[in-house]
Amino acid sequence: MHNYWSADFETTTDPNDCRVWAYALSNIENPDEFIYGNSISDFFNWCYESKHNYTLYFFNLKFDGSFILSWLLEAGFEFIEDKKDKRDMTFTTLITDMGQFYSIEIYFEVDGHKVNKVKILDAMKIFPNFSVERIAKGFNLPISKLKIDYTKYRPENHELTETEIAYIRNDVEIVARALHEMFDRGLTKMTIASDAMTNFKKHFDNFFHYFPELPEKVDADIRLSYRGGFTYASDKYTETEIGEGCVLDVNSLYPYCMKNKPMPYGEPRFFEGEYITDDIFPLFIITFTCKFEIKPDKIPCIQLKNNLSFIPNEYLKSSKDEHVTLTLTSVDFELFKDHYKFWDVTYHGGWKFKMTIGLFDNYVDYWTEQKIKAGKEGNAAQRQIAKLMLNSLYGKFGVSINCGKKAPMLNEDGILSFVDLTPEKRKPIYIPVAAFITAYGREKTIRTSQAIRDYTTKKYGVDKYYYSDTDSIHSGLNNEDLEELKELLDIDDFKLGAWAKEAEFTRAIYIRQKCYIEEIEDTVSVTVAGLPKYLAPIITFDNFKRGFSTGEMSFQDMRELAMKNGAKPDDIENIHHKFTYKYVKGGVILADTDFTIK
């Protein structure tokens, strides 16, 4: 582990002078071992001077990697697609067609003959949805993220101040300490999902008997049924301020589904037309064409992708008298039949599967036990790792066969850009499992949401169901209601798969999916897709409307608004315009851009 380091760059913000003004490295085996310098050239000199093959982890490689790639291409290094062609002054990358950076490998001669490499990876792929600050808190590390003035001018060869050294040291040491915890547990893969799959396979016999590699055509057919979580704002209340209510969350939704729900396994069998009950192959995925209409008071649960007549993320009440084609798991199909009237049906066949329960018991039980044990012992690192492992396995089963990649180049202005490479194919794992796990997750959230709608309508004469997001439901239920519904909805603070009360709110506004505001314990809580955390203090119940924008607001305007809203001093200090990536000569800057509620 001695050759594994956490790394970070600090960079200028001037588009006409874009460069690295500081780099830092912290040894993952011994995070107290710290190296720093003040230029990217010094950073590469450190890489070259060693006879070791270093592996470096940057947190958010898309940013820091842009400076690395710009420097390499300017210095005459050549991009190669195949590692077999490695030689002095060459490099490879793994950058997806969606622009996600996974790795950079740089090759160079040592002592005039041996080709060494530096492998650069993205620590964010191991800690998804984390920030450096959150890693420090989540792992309960003895150090925390510090602050500096990013916009201050720092000339070339700037001598770092003690404050700057302390800042960049903490950044790399936080990530190094967290990676040390992962590596100590044998979790050394490029992504947390790969770690989860490797760990699962290690303790699972006959993996390929249960999860055989399916032909590409079969995978493509089944993949049409694979969807994400159910996220829906009731159109009865959108953009309307409502009163008191609560938020229910599922305790570990997908691990619960993996452990407790029937899972497909083995080679599927094709069937023609309508599915006929088959005790040997009881689970199925079916494709059919029909017209449909929502039943009275039912929550819509069908989306249509790749159809120009419909908005892709909108849950539909009607097919608008059009014939539409759907591919659904048997779980989704039952839900569809319960919530919709449908007619003019043509069944096109599908794939049916054997069924079993318990494939994931050992995995889920082990990591759940580790999470509970760590919580009791106050071992924050182990608890975070257990949570990551519990939530990262299912998605790996759904990894796509198609693998699009991009290659870096400098355009005519010397600015980093990317070209598409010839798409490649990779082996699938077993898409049916991913499709059914997410289907069961949607079913639990939708059926519970519907039960809340039915219960409140009957009890109060008013529908008090407001919003759902994957594993949470926001409604007007009170404590008396929760007690009455305890058995029906399975409400319990700790039980796997049960609903637990996450919060109570005094008022709320829901605009659309992932766009809402709630007042919880006298504090305004804002969730808007695309809204950076540091801008949340400027959002209030008064301005939370479609069209609200920071476009005409100055930096001072935003701070004054946050002060008026009663924001904490630290939150006010952190406010700035939303950033967007802008590639310039030398690397990338975070340029100011507007934020608008749409």
Rounded Cα–Cα distance for residues 127 and 178 (Å): 9
Question: Is 90 exceeded by the pLDDT of residue 2?
Answer: no
Q: Give the pLDDT score at 150.
A: 87
Find out if CATH 3.30.1230.10 is the number for domain 4-189: no
Q: How many residues does the structure list for the chain? A: 598
Strand partners, 287: 327
The band of 112, judged by pLDDT with boundaries at 50, 70 and 90, is low
Percent of the chain predicted with pLDDT > 90:
88
Question: Is 70 exceeded by the pLDDT of residue 1?
Answer: no
Domain borders along the chain are 4-189, 530-598
In this structure, the number of other CB atoms found within 10 A of the CB of residue 482 comes to 16
Burial of 378 (0-12, 13-18, 19+ CB in 10 A): exposed
4-189 and 530-598 have identical folds: no
**Average pLDDT rounded to a whole number, residues 497-513:** 97
Distances, alpha carbon 352 to alpha carbons 263, 283, 330, 349, in Å: 12, 6, 9, 10
> Are 588 and 19 in contact, with CB atoms under 8 Å apart?
no
Minimal CA–CA distance to 260: which of 332, 363, 372, 360? Answer: 360
Q: Give the pLDDT score at 283.
A: 99
Paired tokens of 248: 């229910």
Rounded Cα–Cα distance for residues 472 and 469 (Å): 5
Question: Is 80 exceeded by the pLDDT of residue 544?
Answer: yes
Q: Give the pLDDT score at 507.
A: 98
Q: Give the pLDDT score at 570.
A: 85
- Starting at the edge strand found earlier in the chain, the sheet holding 283-294 runs 263-271, 340-356, 283-294, 324-329
Rounded Cα–Cα distance for residues 11 and 200 (Å): 40
β-pairing verdict for 402-403 and 324-329: unpaired
Q: What is the pLDDT of residues 182-213, one digit of tens each?
A: 999 999 999 999 999 999 999 899 999 999 99
Find out if CATH 2.60.40.1930 is the number for domain 530-598: no
Q: What is the pLDDT of residues 13-58, one digit of tens each?
A: 999 999 999 999 999 999 999 999 999 999 999 998 777 899 999 9
**Average pLDDT rounded to a whole number, residues 344-356:** 98
**What b/e sequence results for 522-534 when a residue is b if at least 16 CB atoms lie within 10 Å of its CB, and e otherwise?**
eebbbebeebeeb
Q: What is the pLDDT of residues 271-326, one digit of tens each?
A: 999 999 999 999 999 999 999 999 999 999 999 987 878 888 899 999 999 999 99
Question: Is 90 exceeded by the pLDDT of residue 114?
Answer: no
Q: Give the pLDDT score at 95.
A: 98
Distances, alpha carbon 231 to alpha carbons 227, 381, 443, 446, 514, in Å: 11, 31, 12, 9, 7
Average pLDDT across the chain, whole number: 95
Rounded Cα–Cα distance for residues 383 and 77 (Å): 43
Q: What is the pLDDT of residues 56-81, one digit of tens each?
A: 999 999 999 999 999 999 999 999 99
**Average pLDDT rounded to a whole number, residues 518-531:** 94
Structure letter (DSSP) for residue 96: B
Minimal CA–CA distance to 174: which of 57, 54, 22? Answer: 57
Q: If you compute the radius of gyration of the chain from its CA atoms, what whole number of angstroms results?
A: 26
Rounded Cα–Cα distance for residues 91 and 409 (Å): 12
Question: Is 90 exceeded by the pLDDT of residue 501?
Answer: yes
Structure letter (DSSP) for residue 160: P
**Average pLDDT rounded to a whole number, residues 360-366:** 97
β-pairing verdict for 101-110 and 34-37: unpaired
Q: Give the pLDDT score at 491.
A: 94
Collapsing DSSP to helix, strand or coil, 580 comes out as strand
Q: Please count the CA atoms within 13 angstroms of the CA of 166 that sit on its side-chain side.
A: 9
Paired tokens of 80: 């190669």
What's the predicted TM-score (pTM) here? 0.94
